[in-house]
Amino acid sequence: MSEHKIQRRMTIRNLLQREKAFLIFILLMVAFPFVLGTITGTGINHGVTKFWQGQLIVFFVMAVVAMSYDLLIGYCGILSFGHAAFFGAGAYTTALLFTHWAPSFSTKYRIFIPGGGDITGILIFAFVILMAVLASVLVGLLFSATSVRLKGAYFAMLTLALAEALHILAKASDFIKWTGADEGLHGVPVPAWINPTQFRPRFYFIALVFLFVSYLFIRRFTNSPAGKVIIGTRENEERVRMIGYNPVTYRTLTFVVSAIFAGLAGAMFSMWNMSATHSMTSTVITVNALIMVILGGMGTLVGGIVGAGLLQAFSHFFYDWFGPRWPLMFGLIFIISVLFFPYGIVGTWRLKRLQIKEGWARLIALLAVKKE
Amino acid sequence: MTKNIILRAENLRKAFGGLIAVDDVSIEVQQKTMHAIIGPNGAGKTTLFNLLSGTMPPTKGKVYYKDNEITSLPPHQRAHLGIGRSFQITNIFPNLTVLENVRLAAQALGGDNFRFLSHVGTFGDYIDKAMAVLAQVGLAGQENVYARSLAHGEKRKLELGIMLACDPELLLFDEPTAGMSSEQVPELIEIIKKVVNRKERTAILVEHRMDMVMNISDFITVMSQGNVIAEGTPQEIANNQLVQKAYLGDFYGELL
Ligand SMILES: Nc1ncnc2c1ncn2[C@@H]1O[C@H](COP(=O)(O)OP(=O)(O)OP(=O)(O)O)[C@@H](O)[C@H]1O
Ligand SMILES: [Mg+2]
């Protein structure tokens, strides 16, 4: 919603100034395991400290999913219901390669650096991640190719269909040997050094760095010359075209960047769970991304992080309070937030204005029976 | 370039279903002149602009820019050739600041568009260019205002600013004063006169305000119901019986 005033010199100081809230958040997250570990006396790799790190890992990964979705919907104005396809492509590629390719490769070949050190494991890891990114970028390119011809709701429906096709593929019994079909892939042999059960704090910090780097990259991307054209495309496609930009090119770029991060998040998620299941390609992923972005504030990037945190917290506490019916309560909160803070939490914060009166008006309009 | 013709349209036709908005129109625009296109409401002026700027494909006919055919070139490629256009219905970036509206246009032809890891703030040239354009169109001091909250007259200035920031060689103005009150018009005319700077640029100006056209243009094409009904110098047009009947009648009627 609000574009920053352009600052000419990007000194470290004004970078720190502008990203203060985010940096404080990261520092808190860095301190978290140590503080909680000390308070509870469990140490950082045991008990509740370990459990809460697990919750936060999911939050970090989902925050990246939300940001990648915000890039599409909030910055480029593209309504896509197929985000699960990017995430799922990353997740499945990772799990499939670790299960079916990496073990046989590493028994057949070993790669050494000149000094004699064995780097096979690192190379396999890098290759798997690269392939996961590549797979979701391919899906992204497929989406952007269809966006040339279809617009708005029609495009959204097609992305929904494409993502659903991937979902069906993941469940298909034809590939049961590879994907485990309905069961999914479990006990994926991820590299031992990243094993989330054994090395919880390590995985925690990798996920935190992943969130940190993703945020900085996407933030810079949205502030770059290319990013500004993407925002322009959202605002007024005809005018962008008339001043010499091809909107198709910039939409494609947005899809690629969005798919890269959603795919990486998928890879992280599958390593975290040491599995890939069809739920990772289901529309629930897309709906969650949509909810996180709307709740946090579209086109703000940090909104996605806030939304992901809230959704994660709600899903945890609401389950305790309301049992399996918790989504119902959450849905209610979501409706209220859309009515009263249409710009999301971050957007409303920036506007410094609650829409209480407008909110009631919207609620009444929603409930009122139209008289003919 | 043959006879310094920067833009040539040959037998252009545009039909919307049964309605023929532009019917067999041929025009030639001399380089470094101000060429006006006038005509009553619905004459097909904006449609002609859509064909010249590439927003719509013609049903028939050809468009040449500097002797090269551009009939099927998309608008962004025409922009790169040096064709700029402003819109009759204000067509700006409402939720961006005034500066960003113009900066985006200044950046368009600069070759840094795919830099995605550098902050826009480090590309000072585009900001300077945008600031200069804003000063030129009389919007200095409004840089950080959101475009949507400008007054109508200011939006019209921004509309011009966006076109000018691309530094086009050929400027297509579609009723730049549309919707402005008559007190605001002279200022805008001065701006147009200044920026068109005849030694540098060529302009095609669609206008309703006859007084303005008569004063500042070198050549006038008169359209009515999709056809060109007359062309010539302002003097010739003022004396043309056909034009007086189709259009000028009202104008002189108003004056008397
Ligand atoms: N996209 C369109 N679809 C259908 N008809 C159109 C379209 N654009 C224009 N027309 C019709 O074509 C005719 C010419 O319209 P145009 O806007 O080109 O006229 P104009 O000379 O610019 O008029 P004005 O002075 O009112 O701006 C009108 O009858 C109009 O209704
Ligand atoms: Mg018109």
Residue B225 domain flag? yes
- Taking residues B50-68, what's their average pLDDT? 96
Asked if residue A26 and residue A147 are part of one domain, the reply reads: yes
Q: What is the mean pLDDT of residues A6-12?
A: 64
| Whether residue A70 sits in one domain with residue A26 | yes
Report if residue B91 sits inside a domain. Answer: no
pLDDT at B243 over 60: yes
User: Do A276 and A364 have their domain in common?
Assistant: no
Say what the pLDDT of residue B197 is: 73
Percent of chain B with pLDDT over 70: 95
Kindly list the residues from chain A whose CB atom is less than 8 angstroms away from the CB atom of residue B87. Answer: 239
In a domain, B156, yes or no: no
pLDDT digits 0-9 by tens, A228-259: 999 999 999 999 999 999 999 999 999 999 99
Given a cut of 90, whether residue B209 has pLDDT beyond it is no
Whether residue A370 has pLDDT greater than 70: no
Q: At what angle do helices A120-147 and A83-96 cross, to 10 degrees?
A: 150
CATH of the domain at A108: 1.10.3470
Residue B197 lies in a domain: no
Q: Please tell me whether residue A371 adopts helix, strand or coil conformation.
A: coil
Residues lining ion ligand 2 (Cβ < 5 A) are B 45-46, 88
Sign of dihedral through CA atoms A12, A13, A17, A18?
A: negative
Count of A-B CB contacts under 8 Å: 116
Residue B216 token pair: 């500042």
Whether B227 is in a domain gets the answer yes
When pLDDT is averaged across residues B127-156 and rounded to a whole number, the result is: 95
| pLDDT at residue B219 greater than cutoff 70 | yes
Mean pLDDT of B244-255: 55
Q: Which residues line ligand 1 (CB under 6 A)?
A: B 16, 19, 21, 39, 41-47, 88
Q: Which of B14, B16, B51, B174 to mutate to test the pocket of ligand 1 (most atoms within 8 A of CB)?
A: B16
Tokens standing for B126?
């585009």
* Top mutation candidate among B23, B25, B47, B206 for ligand 1, by most atoms within 8 Å of CB: B47
Q: Which atom of ligand 1 is nearest to the CA of B226?
A: 14
**A303 and A360 part of one domain:** no
Q: Are both A271 and A368 inside the same structural domain? A: no
DSSP state letters, B186-234 = HHHHHHHHHHHTTTT-EEEEE-S-HHHHHHH-SEEEEEETTEEEEEE-H
What is chain A's percent helix, strand, coil content, to nearest 5? 75, 0, 20
Q: Residue B141 falls within a domain, yes or no?
A: no
Q: Which of A83, A82, A122, A93 is nearest to A106 (CA)?
A: A122
Q: What is the number of domains present in chain A? A: 2
Out of A57-61, B26-30, B210-214, pick the least confident. B210-214
Report the percent of chain A where pLDDT is more than 90. Answer: 65
- A347 and A307 assigned to the same domain: no
A325 and A186 within one domain: yes
In a domain, B24, yes or no: yes
Residue-number span of the structural domain to which A357 is assigned? 341-372
3-state helix, strand, coil in chain B (%, to 5): 40, 25, 35
User: A353 and A259, same structural domain?
Assistant: no
Q: How confident is the model at residue B250 (pLDDT cuts 50, 70, 90)?
A: low
Confidence check: pLDDT of A98 > 90: yes
Under DSSP, is residue A198 helix (H, G, I), strand (E, B) or coil?
Answer: coil
On whether the pTM is more than 0.95, the answer is: no
Of A9, A227, A243, the CB nearest to B108: A243
B255 vs B176: which has the higher pLDDT: B176
**pLDDT tens digits, one per residue of A318-369:** 888 888 888 888 888 888 888 888 888 898 888 877 777 877 887 887 777 6
Does residue A368 share a domain with residue A309? no
Check whether residue A324 and residue A369 sit in a common domain. Answer: no
User: According to the model, what pLDDT value does residue B253 have?
Assistant: 43
* A3 has pLDDT over 60: no
Residue B252 pLDDT > 60: no
Q: Which residues of A68-80 are buried (b: 16+ CB within 10 A; e: fewer)?
A: bbbbbbbbbbbeb
Domain match, A236 and A102 both? yes
Query: Mean of the pLDDT values across residues A105-109?
Result: 87
User: Does residue A262 sit in the same domain as residue A360?
Assistant: no
Yes or no, beta carbons of B166 and A231 under 8 Å apart = no
Cβ contacts of A1 on chain B, cutoff 8 Å: 95
Count of the separate structural domains present in chain B: 1
The CB density around residue B90, as the number of other CB atoms within 10 Å, is 16
Domain that holds residue B6: 1-72+206-256
The CATH number assigned to the domain holding B220 equals: 3.40.50.300
* pLDDT attached to residue A44: 86
